[in-house]
Amino acid sequence: MPTIFERDPEVIQRWVNMRASKCGAEIARRFMRIWLPMKETKRKRELESAFHEVAKQCAKLDNGNYPASKIFMNIGFYFLLAERDIQSVKIDALTHPDWWKRNLSLRIILLTIYEWDMDKVTGRKLKDAMDQSGIPEAVQIEAIESLRDIRKAQRAAKKALGPARNHTIGHRDSNALLQYRIIRSIDQDFVMSLAGGFYDASQRFIRVLPHLISEGTNMYALVRQFLGKGSTQPPDQKSLP
């Protein structure tokens, strides 16, 4: 059997290009493995700081008489939980030297985006909380429109990632070969681009969330919530100061 160097020049050129491409990708991954953790250090530190502070505030509000503030804080914590999961595996998904671990990290990101159910913590509960706390109309509109953008981005991601999620998460499909083929076909760049679109859509809401929390925890809002006696429905206007 002839060696690669005894074959036609076109075959040799394709082999060289393939090896160069593979070698270039490996060098890029090694470089990113060093560079990305340094780049992400500040972001990771800020995320962890916000995570622990919001967790502490959620615990303080858990048994209080301020249901709207509790809803705002819970939404913030809900976002942070998902973001911290993605942040924890993002670098491995892009740079881990072991292909299987890169792919597993991609599947974790895929599952987080696919199963993330924003409607459980927003929807009517959020609208009632904003009304009860007297959140300005402009802030309410921005919050509602940003949530609509998130739903749109997630629908696109779910449509694209559905087969990979349905067949490979938890290895539920009985056809092992089909599972393996789908796992092999997961495109790193495609999954990360969908994750990026989802993240960009989320950032609009995350930017308005501090306004919700600030407006929902000022003295006027707290009095409104307290007089509401735990209901997320707006209290009787006659009972307000």
Q: What is the pLDDT of residues 52-71, one digit of tens each?
A: 888 888 888 887 777 888 88
Distances (CA, A) of 139 to 110, 144, 216: 31, 9, 11
pLDDT at 27: 67
Of residues 11 and 44, which shows the higher confidence score?
Answer: 44
Residue 14 scores a pLDDT above 70: no
Query: Which tokens in the block code for residue 165?
Result: 């999620």
pLDDT at 239: 35
Query: Which tokens in the block code for residue 75?
Result: 């939404």
> Angle CA(58)–CA(59)–CA(65) in degrees, nearest 5?
80
Tell me the mean pLDDT in the region 40-58: 83
How many CB atoms lie under 10 A from the CB of residue 92?
18
The H-assigned helical ranges of the chain are: 9-61, 67-95, 99-115, 123-133, 137-168, 176-185, 188-216, 219-227
- The pTM assigned to this predicted structure is 0.70
How many CB atoms lie under 10 A from the CB of residue 49?
10
pLDDT category at 158 given cuts 50, 70, 90 is confident
Report the C-alpha gap between 20 and 22 in whole angstroms. 5
> In the chain, pLDDT over 70 holds for what percent of residues?
80
Residue 15 scores a pLDDT above 70: no
